[in-house]
Structure 1
């Protein structure tokens, strides 16, 4: 069994100068493909259940799916709650067998965010699992605007919450479909000068691959969340499978044809984070 906590995969990444991918899952087909891709690349993977995934499938089921995949995987697999918004939701994920809780208090005032995230971190650590928090606010493409992370606030947040990983807002945006943007390298340097906590980039799909690679191997960014570009790959594969035979109706046969394209897409993502270059 290779079920792992977030700290167990990010601390080696921090020391080894590489990053681990947090892959956003929506169902069995993509999470299965992500683990297969991680095994093919010989690297750890973080399976993430975000809000839309949890609306579709209950947390107890997701926990069993993640743990089942980890039990037979040859690489470390983290079962991660992405964007938990309440104590109740985080506790439910813990009870469901998740090994990492991300509490998102980023829309709240700094003091409240610190207090609430610290409480979730204590809950997680008492259970032997990990906690990620967010300081600053990462906005959404065609939605809420971002609020950049202040380096001194980030240092305070890391120190007072005890989180195992800290998500920051440095030009990244959720749900971005192109890679025309880029991260604020100067702001990242300011933040990492003041803390040793592994840093996390949400909205990683919008970051150019060359910058992902450079930051994974040359900064304290140890986790990139990737969702949109893999959802796009799944949509393309599903559309091709359906359109190739309009008379076909068996969804198992149709969904089976998404597996290999999703493994290829995920391997492309995973290969950019420096795991092999550092001999990890």
Structure 2
């Protein structure tokens, strides 16, 4: 069985100079392809269930799907709740078999974010589960603006919450469909100079591939969340499968044709984070 916690995969990454991809899932087809890609690359993978995924499929079902894939995998697989906004949601994920939860209190005042995150950390750790938190706010392309992470606040947050991983806002933006301007490496180094916790980049699809690799090997960023570019690969493959034969209606047959393109896209993502 290859089901592991977030701490299990991020601590070796921190020590040995590489990063692990948190791949945002929406359904069975992509999560299965992500595990196949990780096996082909012989590296760990974090399967992530974000809010849109949970709106489509209940957490208890997602937990069973993740665990089924992990137990048959030849590489370590983390079952991770992405952007849990309440204690109840995090508790449900833990009860559903997730091995890691991300509590997002980033919109809250610092003291409130620390207090609520600490409570989730304690709940998770008591169940043998990892917990990720967020300090600063990572915005959305075409939506809410980001608020960059203050290094001193990050250090306080890390110490007072006890999180296993800390998501930071350093120029990254959710839902970007093209490369952005790149991350603020000066701010990243200021944060890691006064903290020891593994760092996380949400909105990794907007980070240029060369910078992903450089930061994976040369900073404390140990987890990059990647969603949009893989959803785009899935969408393109699905459109090709549908339009190739307009008379087809069997969704199992149609969806099966997304597998190889999504595996290939996920392999490109995963290979960029490996150590030198």
Q: TM-score range by the shorter chain?
A: over 0.9
C-alpha separation between the residues in 1 aligned to 2:217 and 2:129?
26
Could you report, residue by residue, the CA deviation over 1:225-276 in whole angstroms, capped at 9, with x for unpaired residues? 000000000000000000110000000000000000000000000000024x
Could you report, residue by residue, the CA deviation over 1:144-203 in whole angstroms, capped at 9, with x for unpaired residues? 000000000000000000000000000000000001320000000000000010000000
C-alpha separation between the residues in 2 aligned to 1:274 and 1:255?
30
Could you report, residue by residue, the CA deviation over 1:101-148 in whole angstroms, capped at 9, with x for unpaired residues? 100000000000000000000001000110000000000000000000
Q: 1:139 maps to what in 2?
A: 139
Local SS of the residue matching 2:272: helix
Q: 1:268 maps to what in 2?
A: 268
- 4+ long deviations beyond 6 Å: none
C-alpha separation between the residues in 2 aligned to 1:6 and 1:27?
21
Local SS of the residue matching 1:181: coil
Which runs of 5 or more structure 2 residues have no equivalent in the other structure? none
C-alpha separation between the residues in 1 aligned to 2:181 and 2:102?
25
In the alignment, is residue 74 of structure 1 matched against residue 74 of structure 2? yes
Q: 2:217 maps to what in 1?
A: 217
Q: 1:196 maps to what in 2?
A: 196
Q: 2:83 maps to what in 1?
A: 83
Q: 1:17 maps to what in 2?
A: 17
- Normalising by structure 2, what TM-score? 1.00
C-alpha separation between the residues in 2 aligned to 1:180 and 1:33?
26
- TM-superposed deviation, 1:48: 0.1
Could you report, residue by residue, the CA deviation over 1:208-230 in whole angstroms, capped at 9, with x for unpaired residues? 00000000000000000000000
- TM-superposed deviation, 1:22: 0.1
Which runs of 5 or more structure 1 residues have no equivalent in the other structure? none
Q: How many aligned residue pairs are there?
A: 276
